[in-house]
Every structure is written in C-alpha cells, then in structure tokens.
Amino acid sequence: MAARITHYASLMVGTEEVFGTAELIAGGYLFRKDGERRATLISYKDTALMLFGLCDLVAQADAADGDRVVRCSQTLVGRAA
C-alpha cells in the first residue's frame, strides 16, 4: 500500500480562511477542516486551496528539533533560546 501524501492546508470559503489538511488523491485533494472527519474534494486547479508543509515532514522536524512547537494548521514557531 502506498503512503498517503497529506499537507497542512487552508481553504478560502467565501471571505473566511478555513484550516485543516489536504490529502492527495486521484482527481484532486480531500480537504478536512481541523477537528472534522468529513472531507470535501477540491480540484488540483482550485486557487482557494493553499498547501503548506507535508504533515509527516513537519512531524519529523518536530521530533528532531525539540526547541520548536508544531501545531496543525499554524505556522512553525521557534522559541527564543
């Protein structure tokens, strides 16, 4: 079974920016709002979808670098040393 490719993402819905994850599938991305199980299929070409870092790479970076805080749907924030 192939590994899933999932990005942290945001989706513009009207004038509101909604945060969640986007999983790559045939035909586009499945966008899931934070805390929800239901997903919406978004086209590859839809400019309302913004993809951020890959979820597994962010988790690996967090494990390797303990002075950073990683939270789903938010910017990677470094703590002062």
9-33 average pLDDT score: 92
Residue 81 lies in a domain: no
pTM of the entire predicted model:
0.66
The structural domain count of the chain equals 1
Is 50 inside a domain boundary? yes
SS3 call for 56: helix
Average pLDDT score over the chain: 76
Task: Give the domain extent around 58.
Answer: 6-76
Q: How confident is the model at residue 54 (pLDDT cuts 50, 70, 90)?
A: confident
pLDDT in tens, 22-45: 999 998 999 999 888 899 999 989
The answer to whether residue 42 sits within a structural domain is yes
Task: For residue 1, tell me if it sits in a domain.
Answer: no
Instruction: Kindly state whether residue 53 falls inside one of the protein's structural domains.
Output: yes
pLDDT surpassing 90 at residue 57: no
Compute the CA torsion angle 59, 64, 67, 73 (nearest 10 deg): -10
Cβ–Cβ < 8 Å for 30, 40:
yes
pLDDT at 41: 94
**58, part of any domain:** yes
